[in-house]
Chain A
Amino acid sequence: MESTMAAAPLVAVVAGALAVLFLEAFLKRKESELPAWAAVAALAAAGFFTVRSWNRGLACFGGRLSLDPLALVLMSLFVLAGMAVVLMGLKYAVRRDMNLGQFCGLLLLAVAGAMIMVSTANWLIVFLGLEVLSVASYALTGLKRNDAASSEAAAKYFLLGSFAGASFVFGLAFVYGTSGSLDLSSGLSPAGTVGLGLILIALFFKIALAPFHMWAPDVYEGAPTPVTAFLTVVPKAAGLAVLIRVVSPAVFVPVLSVVAVLTMFAGNLAALRQTSLKRMLAYSSVAHSGYLLVAVIARDAESFAFYLVAYLFMNAGAFGVLAAVTGKGIEYTALDDFAGLGRRNPWLAAGLAIFLLSLAGFPPMAGFLAKFYVFGAAVREGHIVLVVAAVLASLVSVAYYLKVIVFMYMREGDTDIVVERENPALYMVIFLCLFGTLQLGVWPGNLLTLIRLAFSVAF
């Protein structure tokens, strides 16, 4: 149904972004929290419009922006992720000398970019969304102006990201030149397939799939922690959603399978050797894009969406705990810093332990069920070897997730780690993530019904 309401979520987010940036410019007190709440309000509005257009098949701009179930589910996910990240960054920004207004504004723009990416079937629009998302992400990564690692990460991300962008455009030129159309679902000539390959490489880069994941650990480690939480979920989800729309040509399934196996093992094996929790989680997020790719290969949007929601909760929760562990201007991310945390901060340690166990895929946490559905979908489609590789990769991941727990509970250590005390927003996020992680693991009925209903409509 053609309706301008289809653009409403997007408009809400972009308007919010502009409002926040203006607000920041005219605000007297730099530590004011007003921009953050404005951003939350904008996201809430976007969420409202998203829910309102549920299952109504809205579209606008001649169908170039269409809200199909996949788009709606993912847009809600982006809204949730955006809110969680804003709340996580509320105090973090002040402590790290980050400009809260810029942080929120850029974040909203990134969300807008991701929303554009998932709600179109047109290559050019995808590129538009991808660039909006990317440019905002580069800037977000470098927001810690006084931190060399943050600037380095931003520069690296920007340089490599530009290459990926160029590759995307080049591939797009191939596709358009040969087929004369910018539709994702049209049939392809051989040259068009080469073009599609180039586009895929660009997307692999954005999703951080092996062998194009080299930038990811440095960027995720250097970026401010709330931004890392954002980068590990939203761009991946958007890129994979684009993949799930184009993967139909069967020629790509073998390639994607190889990439998925490579990604899972590259991420997990590298994570084994890390001594910094943040870097370990960065590699783990690379591995998780591998699992998500399995869902893409199985072309199962349901399990894909469920995995993303579960991953959002457990991943944001883990980074939230990381953000809560702060000193005076220093981030404590080394594993040694976490030694004995189980004794000194039992609640925080228990939270992190649950997030990690969920990431490792232990029942009854959300991560297990998410893996169960994704792998189940892949088995149904006959990709059994892929699933065996995936479970072996997740066996490797168990080793390093449990290593963190070993440090927290089974080693004694006196570190000068300081835990955030007065940060209700952050703790609320951690608590909600914890709730989500457990609830989706034990009684995910509500979300499952929602997702199944959404996808039972033709898509």
Chain B
Amino acid sequence: MNAPLVSLVTFLPLTGAVLLIFFRSGSDRAVRATALAVSLLTFALSLALFFGFDGGTGLPEFTERASWLGRGIDYHVGVDGISLFLVLLATFLTPLALLSSWRAVDHRVREFSFFMLLLETGMIGVFVSLNLFLFYVFWEAMLVPMYFLIGIWGGRRRIYATMKFVLFTMFGSLLMLVGILVLHAAYHAATGAYSLTIADLAAVPFSPTLQTWLFLAFGLAFAVKIPLFPLHTWLPDAHVEAPTAGSVLLAAVLLKMGAYGFLRLGLPLFPQAAATFAPALSILAVIGIIYGGLMALVQKDMKSLVAYSSVSHMGLVMLAVFSLNFEATEGALYQMLNHGLSTGALFLCVGILYERTHTRLIADYGGAAARMPVFAGFFLVTMLSSAGLPGLNGFVGEILCFFGIFAADKTLAILSVATVVLSAAYLLGLYRRVMYGPLKDPNDGRLRDIDGRELACLIPIIVLIVTMGLFPGTVLRKMDAAVGRYIGTVKSAPPAAPARAAPGNPDRVGQAPGVPER
């Protein structure tokens, strides 16, 4: 197939966004429908990527390359087993997020849809970029639509939240920009040629000092985005104030960019520095797991509860990433997808409740299951997926992560298992307080059960949650080769901590240890 599929998937939303500018203001229905249609078409095209993807070599496929600015700055895109599923996650969730805000967003619909589509292009662009400069452009450009989404359609403290979000993220990424410039100069000094292609850069062994500084510069940017423990404070604010659609994409896709950054850049480009810093970062990740979980236990606001649960879950993902072995990395990737789906769905559920009662305080709810039985079912499945119930996707990811982490460091593994206990505690606590107990619905009839549109938002996610829980091989097998290659790059440098040898052969993970009974 010669069609530039990756570029199409990346820029179709942008085209749609530009198209929306020409709609007359007031034609809200048409705007919504167009935006949804564009995002659905994007999803369909990204499915073509999925089915056309071979994944045997572990190298990027569907690559396109064109010279752009010269001196190593090319337009170079493609997907490999690591990025493919994150692209799919973005294209899958954007239409759902658009659909979920059909009624919730009732002013400046055209601008809203415009920024949502812009955001989609930014998200996909980050994942498909194979050139560091292009990566950075998407990484930064994506901030702008998110800034507007939170700032215009957010809650009461939206301006504070959105400024905090942008400034925190910018702080990290501007230092990454310096890192990119240094890398550009260092590559030129080492080889005499200009290149910012990620694969080229990874092939040059930089001096340990340089690696350390660069790793810190890149790592800061990613750690803010994930967010790793002491840098997480923007996240609860941004989540609480963001509109539902913004929260969904923020939690589901934007947070993954940090972890993806480590997998794609932080570790392969600077393997020695990464090995040196991995223990310290692992400890931060564990602190994040426990701290996030404990914070989630005491939240009064449903959205901030889910936000802190994200801190906790992403902590586990990062711990797995820093374990630097095959199982853990594959588990981290799988868990990223799970977290995207389940947290996205959790935010959708909270949004559904909020639309009815206009409050997010847990104390204002009670006994909602009586009024919304269908919703209760969906909410429960989502929650159990997030808590890692066997049979659902969360379990597969967590068990893979734990296998890998255990192989790397037993103490940390034992500490990190706390996430299972904590997430069960806060999620089921939330469910009990909101759905059971005495019915709190003063204005009778506000708690209607979910309608067709909301079903259409939730069903696809639930289907995926169950499918990915029962048949993880479909996804994992496409990742194997890429993850194997990745581990190969990271391990080729002398490792600092003796971790279990990477099982380079992808066959045996077809039946990964975490596959539940079928």
Binding site for B on A (CB under 8 A): 343, 357, 362-364, 368-369, 372, 375-376, 379-380, 384, 387-388, 391-392, 394-395, 398-399, 402, 405-406, 409-410, 444-445, 448, 452
Distance (Å) between the CB of B100 and the closest chain A CB?
A: 22
Known A362-B144, A376-B185, A380-B185; contact A444-B178, beta-carbon cutoff 8 A: no
Which residues of chain B have C-beta atoms less than 8 A from A406's C-beta?
151, 159, 163
Which residues of chain A have C-beta atoms less than 8 A from B137's C-beta?
363-364, 368
Q: Is the CB–CB distance between A372 and B177 below 8 Å?
A: yes
Contact partner of B69 (CB less than 8 A), chosen from A394, A398, A399, A448, is A448
7 closest Cβ pairs, A-B complex: A391-B174, A363-B137, A379-B181, A410-B151, A380-B185, A376-B181, A363-B141
Q: Is the CB–CB distance between A444 and B69 below 8 Å?
A: yes
Contact partner of A375 (CB less than 8 A), chosen from B133, B140, B167, B177, is B177
Q: Is the CB–CB distance between A375 and B170 below 8 Å?
A: no
Q: Is the CB–CB distance between A388 and B147 below 8 Å?
A: no
A406 to B162, CA, bound (A): 10
A379 to B184, CA, bound (A): 9
A217 to B516, CA, bound (A): 68
Distance (Å) between the CB of A165 and the closest chain B CB?
A: 38
* Between-chain CB contacts (< 8 Å), 7 pairs: A362-B141, A379-B181, A384-B182, A387-B181, A395-B167, A395-B170, A406-B159
A444 to B69, CA, bound (A): 7
Binding site for A on B (CB under 8 A): 69-70, 108, 133, 136-138, 140-141, 143-144, 147-148, 151-152, 158-159, 162-163, 166-167, 170-171, 174-175, 177-178, 181-182, 184-185, 188
Q: Is the CB–CB distance between A394 and B174 below 8 Å?
A: yes
Which residues of chain B have C-beta atoms less than 8 A from A369's C-beta?
69
A442 to B242, CA, bound (A): 29
A445 to B70, CA, bound (A): 9
Which residues of chain A have C-beta atoms less than 8 A from B143's C-beta?
362
Instruction: List 16 other contacts, CB 8 Å, given A364-B137, A394-B174, A406-B159.
Output: A362-B143, A363-B136, A363-B138, A368-B137, A372-B177, A376-B181, A376-B185, A379-B181, A380-B185, A380-B188, A387-B178, A391-B174, A395-B167, A398-B167, A398-B170, A444-B69
Which residues of chain A have C-beta atoms less than 8 A from B185's C-beta?
376, 379-380
Distance (Å) between the CB of B108 and the closest chain A CB?
A: 8
Distance (Å) between the CB of A400 and the closest chain B CB?
A: 11
Nearest CB in chain A to that of B147: its residue:
A402
Which residues of chain B have C-beta atoms less than 8 A from A379's C-beta?
178, 181-182, 184-185
Distance (Å) between the CB of A109 and the closest chain B CB?
A: 38
Which residues of chain A have C-beta atoms less than 8 A from B167's C-beta?
395, 398-399
Contact partner of B178 (CB less than 8 A), chosen from A357, A388, A448, is A388
A387 to B213, CA, bound (A): 14
A82 to B112, CA, bound (A): 39
Q: Is the CB–CB distance between B163 and A402 below 8 Å?
A: yes
A387 to B179, CA, bound (A): 10
Contact partner of B174 (CB less than 8 A), chosen from A357, A392, A409, A410, is A392
Nearest CB in chain B to that of A388: its residue:
B178
- B interface secondary structure, majority: helix
Contact partner of B152 (CB less than 8 A), chosen from A357, A380, A409, is A409
Which residues of chain B have C-beta atoms less than 8 A from A452's C-beta?
70
Nearest CB in chain A to that of B143: its residue:
A362
Residue from A343, A364, A402, A409 having most chain B Cβ neighbours under 10 A: A402
Q: Is the CB–CB distance between B171 and A395 below 8 Å?
A: yes
Which residues of chain A have C-beta atoms less than 8 A from B188's C-beta?
380
Nearest CB in chain B to that of A409: its residue:
B152
A444 to B67, CA, bound (A): 12
Nearest CB in chain B to that of A449: its residue:
B70
Contact partner of A384 (CB less than 8 A), chosen from B69, B166, B178, B184, is B178
A155 to B133, CA, bound (A): 47
Residue from B136, B140, B162, B170 having most chain A Cβ neighbours under 10 A: B170
A379 to B179, CA, bound (A): 10
Contact partner of B140 (CB less than 8 A), chosen from A368, A384, A410, is A368
Distance (Å) between the CB of A376 and the closest chain B CB?
A: 5
Which residues of chain B have C-beta atoms less than 8 A from A368's C-beta?
137, 140
A363 to B145, CA, bound (A): 12
Q: Is the CB–CB distance between B141 and A402 below 8 Å?
A: no
Distance (Å) between the CB of A395 and the closest chain B CB?
A: 5
Q: Is the CB–CB distance between A357 and B151 below 8 Å?
A: no
Q: Is the CB–CB distance between B151 and A395 below 8 Å?
A: no
Which residues of chain B have C-beta atoms less than 8 A from A372's C-beta?
133, 177, 181
Which residues of chain A have C-beta atoms less than 8 A from B136's C-beta?
363
Which residues of chain A have C-beta atoms less than 8 A from B140's C-beta?
362-363, 368
Q: Is the CB–CB distance between B174 and A402 below 8 Å?
A: no
Q: Is the CB–CB distance between A402 and B69 below 8 Å?
A: no
A406 to B158, CA, bound (A): 10
A410 to B149, CA, bound (A): 10
Nearest CB in chain B to that of A444: its residue:
B69
Distance (Å) between the CB of B485 and the closest chain A CB?
A: 29
A94 to B133, CA, bound (A): 47
Which residues of chain B have C-beta atoms less than 8 A from A376's C-beta?
181, 184-185
Known A379-B182, A398-B166, A406-B151; contact A388-B175, beta-carbon cutoff 8 A: yes
Q: Is the CB–CB distance between B148 and A357 below 8 Å?
A: no
A405 to B111, CA, bound (A): 14
Distance (Å) between the CB of B481 and the closest chain A CB?
A: 32
A375 to B136, CA, bound (A): 15
Q: Is the CB–CB distance between B148 and A409 below 8 Å?
A: yes
Contact partner of A448 (CB less than 8 A), chosen from B70, B170, B171, is B70
Which residues of chain A have C-beta atoms less than 8 A from B133's C-beta?
372
Which residues of chain B have C-beta atoms less than 8 A from A448's C-beta?
69-70
Which residues of chain A have C-beta atoms less than 8 A from B178's C-beta?
375, 379, 384, 387-388, 391
Q: Is the CB–CB distance between A375 and B181 below 8 Å?
A: yes
Residue from A384, A399, A410, A445 having most chain B Cβ neighbours under 10 A: A410
Known A363-B136, A375-B178; contact A399-B163, beta-carbon cutoff 8 A: yes
Nearest CB in chain B to that of A371: its residue:
B177
Q: Is the CB–CB distance between B159 and A410 below 8 Å?
A: yes
Which residues of chain B have C-beta atoms less than 8 A from A399's C-beta?
163, 167
Nearest CB in chain A to that of B176: its residue:
A391
Which residues of chain A have C-beta atoms less than 8 A from B170's C-beta?
395, 398
Q: Is the CB–CB distance between A357 and B175 below 8 Å?
A: no
Distance (Å) between the CB of B102 and the closest chain A CB?
A: 22
Which residues of chain B have C-beta atoms less than 8 A from A445's C-beta?
69
Nearest CB in chain B to that of A410: its residue:
B151
Residue from B143, B144, B171 having most chain A Cβ neighbours under 10 A: B144
Distance (Å) between the CB of B75 and the closest chain A CB?
A: 10
Which residues of chain A have C-beta atoms less than 8 A from B158's C-beta?
410
Distance (Å) between the CB of B489 and the closest chain A CB?
A: 25
Which residues of chain B have C-beta atoms less than 8 A from A388's C-beta?
175, 178
A376 to B194, CA, bound (A): 12
Nearest CB in chain B to that of A343: its residue:
B108
Residue from A388, A391, A409 having most chain B Cβ neighbours under 10 A: A391
Which residues of chain B have C-beta atoms less than 8 A from A395's C-beta?
167, 170-171, 174
A417 to B236, CA, bound (A): 37
Residue from B171, B175, B185 having most chain A Cβ neighbours under 10 A: B185
Distance (Å) between the CB of B139 and the closest chain A CB?
A: 9
A242 to B177, CA, bound (A): 29
Distance (Å) between the CB of B177 and the closest chain A CB?
A: 6
Distance (Å) between the CB of B247 and the closest chain A CB?
A: 18
Q: Is the CB–CB distance between A402 and B166 below 8 Å?
A: yes
Q: Is the CB–CB distance between A409 and B181 below 8 Å?
A: no
Which residues of chain A have C-beta atoms less than 8 A from B162's C-beta?
410
A252 to B182, CA, bound (A): 24
A388 to B178, CA, bound (A): 7
Which residues of chain A have C-beta atoms less than 8 A from B174's C-beta?
391-392, 394-395
A448 to B171, CA, bound (A): 29
A444 to B166, CA, bound (A): 27
Distance (Å) between the CB of A271 and the closest chain B CB?
A: 15
Nearest CB in chain A to that of B184: its residue:
A376
Nearest CB in chain A to that of B189: its residue:
A380
Distance (Å) between the CB of A36 and the closest chain B CB?
A: 33
A46 to B173, CA, bound (A): 43
Nearest CB in chain B to that of A411: its residue:
B159
